[in-house]
Each structure stands twice: as C-alpha cells, then as structure tokens.
Amino acid sequence: MASASLQFFAFLLALFGVFGDITATLLPNWKVNADVGSNIITAITQMQGLWMDCTWYSTGMFSCTLKYSVLSLPIYIQAARTTMVLSCILSAFGICITTVGMKCTKLGGDTDSKSHACFAGGVCFILAGIFGLIPTSWYTREIISNFLDQTIPESSKHEPGGAVYIGFISAGFLLIAGVIFCTSCFKKQQGAWIYPPKEHHFPSTEQESNAGYNLKDYV
C-alpha cells in the first residue's frame, strides 16, 4: 500500500513536470530586458523565447515576431529547441507507460509486466528531466555571461525569464518522479532475488499407499 501511494505521488510530480515542460517550451520569456527609459510611460519590456520574440509596451500594446529561420539562430537556442521537444515527448511517453505499470491501476497484466512497465516509465522521466535540465542550464549560462560582459551595452543585456525557472522546476519534478518509479520496482525485484519463495515438497499419496502395502506383507 505504501509503495502504491508513493507511485501515485511520483505520478502527480510527473504530471506537473510534463505540464511545466510544455509551458516552458512555448513561453516567450526565456530572457527579459526591461527598458524604462526617461519616462515610465514609454517603458518597454522585451522578451525572447525559443520560438518567438515579444515586446510589451506600458501603453498595453503587445507584439510578437516568430523566429522562422532556424540556421540564423545561435547554437544554444537550436539545442534548447531540440532538447526541450525531446523532453516533452519522453515525459508524455513516461505518463502513458507508468499509467499501465502503476499498482493502483488494473492495466498491464501480471505483476512482473507492470513492474517492467513502471521501470521503463521511470527511465523515460529521468531522460526527460536530463533533456530539460540541459537547455535551461545552457541558456542561463549564456544570459549570465552576456550580462557580465563589459563590452556589451546595457540595452542589449537580459535577465533570466520565468520560462527558465519553470524549466528548472519541471526538470526537477521529472527527475524525482523517475527515481521514485525506478527504485520502487528495483526494491521489489531485489527482494524477490534475496528471498526466493520456498518450495514445499509433499510426498505423494501413491507412495504412502505403496509403503503401507509393503509393511502389510511383512506382518
């Protein structure tokens, strides 16, 4: 019962991780630059994401521009696009597989099949967390290095946006969920290897009857 509750908790973490992963991939605020200028009325907030760049004006106007050219993008943005999409796909696969392998569901057949499915889903979550952690770390490193570079003007410097933080948290949720799923299945299999079921040998009734007849012959 405790193991089933732990798996359900890991499944909830994985769900939050999947939704956060998809949200971080689509949001345009991976890095933000707020330019107040000489007047608060003319304040401009520039946001850059993986797929589009957006500008928000203090007057309420909001405009976005899609990034159509892939080859013109920096290498870290291209890598972030690829790894975040892979993270979303792997986490979605993990949700489907662990739904079959969880103890609280009636899918997946016998206990061994559910255990293997649960372990495979945990591996998918761990890989999804790693693929989500790589682009957020790399993107943050580029933002910080550009921010500390004295040769870059202040107007071209950015700070990490909300999508980066969501990506970090989602990757952590996926990693924790994957570890829980894998360890729960591993402990069960390890217990079966250490303490194998005992085999009880009972003499057959036919042998007992034959032994009885043999004793009668000597009386």
Domain limits for position 155: 4-29+70-193
**Which pLDDT score is estimated for 187?**
54
**Which pLDDT score is estimated for 219?**
47
What is the count of structural domains for the chain?
1
Residue 93, in any domain of the structure? yes
Round to whole Å and give the CA distance between 10 and 216.
67
Residue 161, in any domain of the structure? yes
Residue 206, in any domain of the structure? no
Which positions ≥6 away from 108 have C-beta within 8 Å?
A: 100, 101, 114, 117
pTM above 0.85, yes or no: no
Residue 56, in any domain of the structure? no
Q: Residue 116 is encoded by which pair of tokens?
A: 């293997």
The CATH code of the domain that includes 128 is 1.20.140.150
Which long-range contacts link 5-11 to residues 24+ away (Cβ below 8 Å)? Answer: 6/180, 6/184, 7/98, 7/102, 7/103, 7/104, 7/118, 7/180, 7/181, 7/184, 8/102, 8/104, 9/180, 10/98, 10/176, 10/177, 10/180, 10/181, 10/184, 11/95, 11/98, 11/99, 11/102, 11/177
CB 177 within 8 A of CB 10: yes
Between the alpha carbon of residue 115 and those of residues 120, 135, 192, 200, the distances in Å are: 9, 31, 12, 27
List % helix, strand, coil for the chain (3-state, nearest 5): 65, 10, 25
pLDDT digits (tens, 9 = 90+) for 27-84: 999 999 866 555 555 567 889 999 999 988 877 788 888 988 888 899 999 999 999 9
**Which pLDDT score is estimated for 194?**
44
Residue 148, in any domain of the structure? yes
Sites in the chain below the pLDDT cut of 70:
1-2, 34-43, 108-109, 186-219
Residue 48, in any domain of the structure? no
Residue 16, in any domain of the structure? yes
Residue 40, in any domain of the structure? no
